[in-house]
Amino acid sequence: MNTNSLIKQIGFLLIFLTLSWVLIHFLAIFGVFLALALPLLHLVFYPHILCFWCRLKGGTHSLKHSLIDSGLILILTLVSLPIVYFEYQLITKLTTPVQVAQIAQFMIPTKSQHPVGEVFPLKIELMNIPSSINVAQADLSFDPSIVEVVDITTDDSFASFFVQKEFDNQKGYLRISGGVPNPGYRSPTGLLATAYLKGSKPGAVELKYLESSLVLANDGRGTNLLADFPSIPFIITPNQPGVSPAPNDLTIKNQVQGDSDKTVLSFAEYANDLPKPFNNTLGELVAPPSPITTAPTMPTNNESENPLLSFDKKVLEYWDYFFNIFKIN
């Protein structure tokens, strides 16, 4: 077989498949109406009506032949509809992105008692990370009358840059948000930052991860993988009379206004982005919203990106309206 002959056969096959696809979808839409119209066309335009049966078997065209043609078109229509349905299901499965489970969590420290005046670390650490991530943001609220934030450090953080790293000991709020360039960070656990706290007076205090916290997958859609927003209970105990607070063996770098080992992009307060009742935590909005404060919104409608899928869905929805035989999502 020479090259020209092979090219002709491939071209014929492509033309045949294209015409078959067009015919199947044409019959799926108009087949029933065409089948019903043929006998009426026979009565109006006889003997000029096109007869498929006569072309196959020969003979003189008659009303019986038009009825046979109608039956053949109806059969082909009933075959075309399932083909369109299976085509729709196949395209849907091929174009629907794999959903990543929302199971990422913030770790809860085991030690929950500290004396007044002790500076102790709170590791803001993630666990159960199901896939590669490129953005993480931790927002915490606390009672500033019992504890205060001394500093936030990013030593050993998986993030390579930070958009925000700030705290407010008057309002009782802490935020740390950072990211990793593509291909992101892929590990079951990861340290985002360490906050250093100090008890101001005895009492029970609860640090709460706010709903503005997020962990975004590196999937091109900004899927938030964070499963819950836990609370961290602490008890600040009074110092025993005559006993000084335990000496702190912590070396804290002054990183609130920038890191020497990390790239800090900007600092701003985002009160309007916090969920109620924390929307007034930081006072008035003084800067444009951070681009990663909330998960990016991406189109989730596959039909808007795939005209063929949209066309098939409209065909099936049309017949489903009358007969309710297709399960269209």
In-domain check, residue 255: no
Q: Do 111 and 234 reside in the same domain of the chain?
A: yes
Q: Do 224 and 83 reside in the same domain of the chain?
A: no
pLDDT category, 4, cuts 50, 70, 90?
confident
Query: Mean pLDDT over all residues of the chain?
Result: 76
Q: What confidence tens digit (pLDDT) does each residue in 96-145 have?
A: 666 677 889 999 888 889 999 999 999 999 999 999 999 999 999 999 99
pLDDT at residue 36 greater than cutoff 60? yes
In-domain check, residue 291: no
Compute φ and ψ for 17, nearest 5 degrees: -65, -40
pLDDT at residue 293 greater than cutoff 50? no
Q: What confidence tens digit (pLDDT) does each residue in 239-261 have?
A: 876 555 555 544 444 443 334 44
pLDDT at position 234, please? 93
- Ramachandran category for residue 234: left, alpha or beta (phi over 0 → left; psi -120 to 50 → alpha): beta
- The Cα–Cα gap between 115 and 109 comes to 16
Q: Across residues 213-227, what is the average pLDDT?
A: 90
Q: Do 174 and 192 reside in the same domain of the chain?
A: yes
In-domain check, residue 224: yes
Q: What confidence tens digit (pLDDT) does each residue in 263-277 have?
A: 333 333 333 333 333
CATH of the domain at 203: 2.60.40.680
Q: Do 13 and 133 reside in the same domain of the chain?
A: no
Instruction: Count up the domains in the chain and report the number.
Output: 2
Q: Do 187 and 318 reside in the same domain of the chain?
A: no
The string over 74-105, giving b where at least 16 C-beta atoms fall within 10 Å of a residue's C-beta and e elsewhere, is: bebbeebbebbbebbbebbeeeeeeebebebb
Q: Do 33 and 56 reside in the same domain of the chain?
A: yes
Lowest mean pLDDT among 40-54, 144-158, 248-262, 268-282: 268-282
Lowest mean pLDDT among 131-140, 219-228, 314-323: 314-323
In-domain check, residue 247: no
pLDDT at residue 2 greater than cutoff 90? no
In-domain check, residue 184: yes
Q: Do 123 and 267 reside in the same domain of the chain?
A: yes
Q: Across residues 223-246, what is the average pLDDT?
A: 82
Q: Identify how many contiguous H helices and E strands the chain contains and give both numbers.
A: 5, 12
pLDDT at position 53, please? 63
Q: Between 16 and 69, name the one with better pLDDT.
A: 16
In-domain check, residue 286: no
pLDDT at position 162, please? 94
pLDDT at position 114, please? 93
Domain of residue 109 covers 105-241+262-273
pLDDT at residue 279 greater than cutoff 70? no
Q: Do 19 and 126 reside in the same domain of the chain?
A: no
Q: Between 270 and 176, name the one with better pLDDT.
A: 176
In-domain check, residue 19: yes
